[in-house]
Structure 1
Amino acid sequence: MDVQEVEAQTWMAFLEGHPEAHVLQTAPWGDLKAGFGWRARRWLLIEHGEHRAGLQVLIRPLPLGLSILYVPKGPVGDWQRPEAFHALLTTLDRLAQETHAVWLRIEPDVMEGELQLDLTAFGFRPAPPIQPRRTILVSLEGEEEAILQAMHPKTRYNIRLAERKGVKVREARPEELPLFYQLLQRTAARDRFAIHTFDYYRAAYERFVPHLARLWLAFYEEEPIAALMAFAWGERTWYFYGASGDRHREKMPTYALQWTAIRWAKARGCRWYDLWGIPDEDPEVLEAQFATRRDGLWGVYRFKRGFGGRVVRWAGAFDRVYFPPLYRLVRRLGFA
């Protein structure tokens, strides 16, 4: 059993054999983050001449020559055997020594209850997740009509209403990225959430579109009124970014956009459409409070639940701490 560092091309060839992998483990995602304060490195576990598992780790430099290590939605492959994980972890420990890492955070792409390893036995502790802990997965099995029938009747109605009202959806051209960002800025101001810079979304577009992502704009009479950007790898598509203006919201452009993204995901062979983030509450609480709550992710939950699917909760994040006093200090300063 050996662990070797690999370049992006070799890493992506490995991921081709793992349609269950998360898009955050792809080389384009690592390249995207590398343009905004991180570095990406990748390792493969080789056993009996075969690539059995691997991971992409992001390195965030801190002042004084320190760093943070982060494995988003990884490792990938057959990593949950103790001996395999120990080999990967040994490599990460060496990287931590090399980069003076204060801690290593991993956030496996494993549903709650399906994590076979006891990570605390490897020196990890539960940590606040960076990615959404809970989401809705919409099944793309069956014909399009079956997917529609699994939705809430009001959602089906709104999808068709958008068409009747004259909403048109098409793929955005590169020169239309500022339109998307303007809509995103308006949405962020209205709903009070933080967004990245324009350069970040432009870099995401350039690295992922057209092969692993699409950006759509919804128009009414030539006026851009909403937008959606979805990413895909293997058997899943993720709805990462959505935006809408203040005008013509009654024409339901966001529903038209979601249906466009779902149809695209199905056409490319995906099995699941991930609505990416809802309040981290039990299903009973979600159903009891969605009509009255508007704080946090509650506002989008009411919208997302209409598309059907099932609520799932991920295993969460785990930290391996190398410098405990600095760990507490850096986290208090808001670095993670």
Structure 2
Amino acid sequence: MLQATLITDSAAWNAALRHLPAAHVLQTWEWGAFKQHETGWQPERFAFTDEAGRTVAAASILTRRVGPLRVMYVPKGPALAYEDTDTVLDVLAHLEQLARQRRAVWLKIDPDVIAGTGIPGEGDEAARHPAQDDPTGQRVLATLRARGWRFSTSQVQFRNTITLDLTQSEDDLLAGMNQSTRRKVRTGPKKDVTVRSANDPADLRTLYDLYTVTGARQGFLIRPLDYYREAWARFIEAGLAQAFLAEWEGQPLAGLVLFHFGPKAWYFYGMSDNVERSRMPTYLLQWEAIRWAKAHGYGTYDFWGAPDTFDESDSMWGVYRFKDGFGGTVMRHIGAWDYVPNPLVYTLYERLMPRVLDLMRRAGRRRDPVDTGANTD
């Protein structure tokens, strides 16, 4: 059996997490602290060690009260080697016991585990991205079902994404783009667009202004400036984020905020103005972010989000087409799963919460697409 230890030191936590398989930036100390500061989730970080004292798994668990009830969430975690069935079983058993002890309505996990690659079904998209199941992911799914976990009706993070292999040369990365995207990447420099680092505090206001324009254009609600200052500045200061601005004659045209941790970088935020769009600033911006991630030793670039259904009816279709143009592989994750200590309470909660969320939406508190990379042009 593994030994679970509560970690209370930020540096020790990130150091242990960084080298684990399936480690994710949403499991870092900073993400838990951000969620606590902004939304009231209470983080706890557990490291799991084997008999030799080696850390083999980690889970940052967020807990929140909803009236008299309590819910628990492990965003993009836990982190561990999911091909090791014994470790998977031990960690799941600990999480289940903790949920029972806390009398939680549910405990949700959303590990960075691939169920398969490519696009199932028929049609042009499926032909371009042939589907293949991942054996490890399929075993994890079978384990969760066998232990009574439920596929969550609330998929907090994206189940699907596109990732780019950064171990390739820059020439190979360019060659892997579709012809239209490659042409648009090259348009920016020809039309005097430049890209620079935008990590200074003054730049955050510029990024926010561009984000408000993007939100108005694409129809999503923007939170107050202080929210994004907290999100972006906290991670930039911790060395876990890098911001960029694309400019023309000193005028900001587009921005991008890249999060990075372990072996991977994630395109979390994209924003652009409504002017000078023919200069294709977002394409050059994306390419420079990819080049930055590669130059800094990251092996994978995650475009963070793709449709659940790969056809034009999906609201993310335009976003997907933009990202897909850069090449890469469609990744289908296993998604979020709920452990339910008390099925009756869970059923009542699931019936009532949609009504509560509907009232919140009517009040204008619509979820903002922090993680959509919601810039498609």
Q: TM-score, normalised by structure 1?
A: 0.90
Rounded to whole Å, the distance in 2 between the matches of 1:104 and 1:51 is 23
CA distance change for structure 1 residues 228 and 297 in 2, over 3 Å: closer, same or farther? same
- The match for 2:4 is 3
CA distance change for structure 1 residues 82 and 309 in 2, over 3 Å: closer, same or farther? closer
| 1:90 Cα deviation after fit | 4.1
- The match for 1:176 is 203
Rounded to whole Å, the distance in 1 between the matches of 2:264 and 2:84 is 25
- The match for 1:154 is 180
Rounded to whole Å, the distance in 2 between the matches of 1:310 and 1:220 is 32
- The match for 2:288 is 260
CA distance change for structure 1 residues 185 and 100 in 2, over 3 Å: closer, same or farther? farther
Matched to 2:240, the amino acid is L
Aligned mate of 2:329, from 275, 299, 310: 310
- The match for 2:315 is 296
Report SS of the residue matched to 1:119. helix
- The match for 2:193 is 167
- The match for 1:333 is 353
Contact between 2:161 and 2:332, CA under 8 Å: does it hold in 1? yes
Q: Structure 1 regions of 5+ residues with no counterpart?
A: none
Matched, 1:127 2:128: no
Rounded to whole Å, the distance in 1 between the matches of 2:100 and 2:222 is 33
| 1:94 Cα deviation after fit | 4.6
Rounded to whole Å, the distance in 1 between the matches of 2:18 and 2:284 is 31
Q: TM-score, normalised by structure 2?
A: 0.81
Report SS of the residue matched to 1:108. coil
| 1:233 Cα deviation after fit | 1.2
Contact between 1:170 and 1:218, CA under 8 Å: does it hold in 2? yes
CA distance change for structure 1 residues 330 and 187 in 2, over 3 Å: closer, same or farther? farther
Rounded to whole Å, the distance in 1 between the matches of 2:83 and 2:347 is 29
CA distance change for structure 1 residues 330 and 181 in 2, over 3 Å: closer, same or farther? farther
RMSD of equivalent CA atoms: 2.1
Sequence identity (%): 41
Of 317-326 and 124-133, deviating more is 317-326
Matched, 1:206 2:206: no
1:96-121 deviations in whole A, cap 9, x for unaligned? 34544210111111100332331122
Count of residues paired in the alignment: 326
Matched to 2:18, the amino acid is E
Report SS of the residue matched to 2:114. coil
Matched, 1:324 2:343: yes
Rounded to whole Å, the distance in 2 between the matches of 1:12 and 1:141 is 24
The aligned runs of 1:29-48 (5 Å cut-off) are 29-36=31-38, 37-48=40-51
Contact between 1:19 and 1:235, CA under 8 Å: does it hold in 2? no
- The match for 2:65 is 61
1:166-202 deviations in whole A, cap 9, x for unaligned? 1121122212212211211111121123444322221
Contact between 1:20 and 1:235, CA under 8 Å: does it hold in 2? no
Rounded to whole Å, the distance in 2 between the matches of 1:16 and 1:317 is 22
- The match for 1:188 is 215
- The match for 2:75 is 72
Report SS of the residue matched to 1:18. coil
Matched to 2:3, the amino acid is D
- The match for 1:197 is 224
CA distance change for structure 1 residues 218 and 19 in 2, over 3 Å: closer, same or farther? farther
Rounded to whole Å, the distance in 1 between the matches of 2:174 and 2:235 is 28
| 1:136 Cα deviation after fit | 0.8
Contact between 1:170 and 1:216, CA under 8 Å: does it hold in 2? yes
Contact between 1:111 and 1:315, CA under 8 Å: does it hold in 2? yes
Report SS of the residue matched to 1:182. helix
Contact between 1:3 and 1:87, CA under 8 Å: does it hold in 2? no
- The match for 2:119 is none
Of 167-176 and 239-248, deviating more is 167-176
Q: Structure 2 regions of 5+ residues with no counterpart?
A: 116-133, 358-377
| 1:89 Cα deviation after fit | 3.4
Matched to 2:317, the amino acid is W
Of 25-34 and 205-214, deviating more is 205-214
1:10-50 deviations in whole A, cap 9, x for unaligned? 22121232365111111111111111221111111111122
Rounded to whole Å, the distance in 2 between the matches of 1:47 and 1:100 is 27
Contact between 1:53 and 1:79, CA under 8 Å: does it hold in 2? no
Matched, 1:17 2:43: no
